[in-house]
C-alpha cells in the first residue's frame, strides 16, 4: 500500500496516467492524493475528472481555485474563457454527476498519523489546526447545500483585501477561507493576502511581501503542509515542512508525484502532442 500525492493536474490527463504508470499505481491498494486544480487550461479536463471519479475511494482530492471556478461556470455564474479549455467538460452528458463529485470534495485533508496537511494553496499562518478544520468544514457544508450557488458560488469572487480576524461576519470567514486555501501565495506585512504577485519569492519586487510558508505557523511547526497552486516555485520552498507540488505541467513543465512512504519525487514532462 502506497500513498502518492500529485500537484496540479489541470486537465493534463495523459501526463497523469503516464506518471501513475511509472509507479505502477494500483487503486486496489494505493491512494492518490490530489492537491487541487484538477481541471482547466490543460487539454482534457473531462477525461481527468472521469478517471478520478472512477477511482472512488482510492482518490482523495482537495479543491483548488480552478475547481471552484468550474462550479461557477457550470452554474452560469461566470462566462466561459477559451483559455480554460473546459467546453468538452461543460457540454458533456456526464457533467451533472461530475459536478456533484466536485462539490463533495473538501478544501483540506489531514493525515494525523503522518502529520500531514494538504490544501491547494497553503495554510494561513494565523490559524491553528482547530480553526483550519472548522473553516474547511464550513465551506464543505456550504457546498453541499441545495442553494449552494446563490449562498456561496455566486458571492465568492471579490476585489477586497482579504484579512482574517475572529470578528469577521460568517460569510466573510467563508470567503477568506476560500481565498486562503485556494488562492494564497504572498502575505502583506499585516498578514493580509496578496493576489497580484505570482513570481517566485526571489523575483518579487515588493519587499513588504513574503510567502505564506515563511511565516511562523502553529500548524506547520508540527506538520508537513502539502500544496500546489504556485507553479513558479517549481517545488522549491527551502522548508522541509512546506512541500510544493505544482511544477507547471500545464505550462510546459512537469507533473510531480510525491511518494509519502519513500519521500521520492517522480516527474512526467508535458507531452508536446496528445
pLDDT tens-digit series, residues 88-124: 999 999 999 999 999 999 999 999 999 999 999 999 9
Range(s) of the domain holding residue 121? 3-269
pLDDT of 122 reads 98
In a domain, 237, yes or no: yes
> Assign residue 11 a region: left if phi > 0, alpha if psi is -120 to 50, beta otherwise?
left
The DSSP result for 136-189, as a single string, is HHHHHHHHHSTTHHHHTGGGS---SPB---TTS-HHHHHHHHHHHHHH--EE-T
pLDDT of 229 reads 97
In a domain, 112, yes or no: yes
In a domain, 190, yes or no: yes
Give percent above pLDDT 70 in the chain: 99
Residue keyed to cell 507540488: 245
How many domains does the chain divide into?
Answer: 1
Q: What is the CATH number of the domain that holds 79?
A: 3.60.21.10
Calculate mean pLDDT across residues 125-134. 97
pLDDT of 272 reads 82
In a domain, 231, yes or no: yes
Rounded Cα distance between 158 and 195, Å, is 11
Q: In what order do the strands lie in the sheet with 186-187?
A: 193-194, 186-187, 210-211
Position 273 pLDDT exceeds 70: no
pLDDT tens sequence across 208-231:
999 999 999 999 999 999 999 999
In a domain, 274, yes or no: no
In a domain, 150, yes or no: yes
- Which residue in 257, 241, 256, 250 sits closest to 271, CA to CA? 250
pTM of the model: 0.96
In a domain, 98, yes or no: yes
pLDDT band at 159 (very low <50, low <70, confident <90, very high): confident
Which three three-digit cell numbers place residue 102?
A: 466536485
pLDDT band at 158 (very low <50, low <70, confident <90, very high): confident
In a domain, 50, yes or no: yes
Rounded Cα distance between 3 and 273, Å, is 29
Amino acid at each position: 500500500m502506497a500513498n502518492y500525492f500529485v500537484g496540479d493536474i489541470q486537465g493534463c490527463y495523459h501526463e497523469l496516467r503516464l506518471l501513475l504508470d511509472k509507479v505502477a499505481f494500483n487503486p486496489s491498494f494505493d491512494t492518490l492524493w490530489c492537491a487541487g486544480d484538477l481541471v482547466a487550461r490543460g487539454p482534457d479536463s473531462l477525461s481527468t475528472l472521469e478517471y478520478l471519479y472512477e477511482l472512488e475511494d482510492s482518490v482523495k482530492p482537495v479543491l483548488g481555485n480552478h475547481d471552484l471556478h468550474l462550479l461557477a461556470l457550470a452554474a452560469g455564474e461566470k462566462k466561459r474563457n477559451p483559455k480554460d479549455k473546459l467546453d468538452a467538460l461543460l457540454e458533456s452528458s456526464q457533467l451533472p454527476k461530475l459536478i456533484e463529485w466536485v462539490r463533495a470534495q473538501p478544501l483540506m485533508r489531514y493525515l494525523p498519523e503522518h502529520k500531514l496537511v494538504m490544501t491547494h494553496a497553503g495554510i494561513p499562518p494565523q490559524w491553528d489546526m482547530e480553526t483550519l478544520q472548522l473553516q474547511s468544514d464550513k465551506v464543505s457544508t456550504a457546498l453541499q447545500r441545495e442553494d449552494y450557488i446563490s449562498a456561496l458560488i455566486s458571492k465568492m469572487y471579490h476585489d477586497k483585501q482579504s484579512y482574517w480576524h475572529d470578528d469577521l461576519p460568517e460569510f466573510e470567514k467563508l470567503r477568506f477561507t476560500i481565498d486562503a486555501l485556494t488562492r494564497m501565495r504572498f502575505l502583506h506585512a499585516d498578514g493580509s493576502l496578496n493576489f497580484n504577485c505570482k513570481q517566485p519569492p526571489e523575483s518579487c519586487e515588493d519587499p513588504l511581501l513574503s510567502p505564506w510558508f515563511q511565516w511562523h505557523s502553529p500548524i506547520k511547526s508540527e506538520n508537513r503542509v502539502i500544496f500546489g497552486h504556485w507553479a513558479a516555485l517549481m517545488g522549491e520552498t527551502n522548508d522541509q515542512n512546506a512541500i510544493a507540488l505544482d511544477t507547471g505541467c500545464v505550462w510546459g513543465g512537469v507533473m510531480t508525484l510525491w511518494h509519502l512512504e519513500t519521500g521520492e519525487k517522480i516527474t512526467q514532462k508535458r507531452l508536446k502532442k496528445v
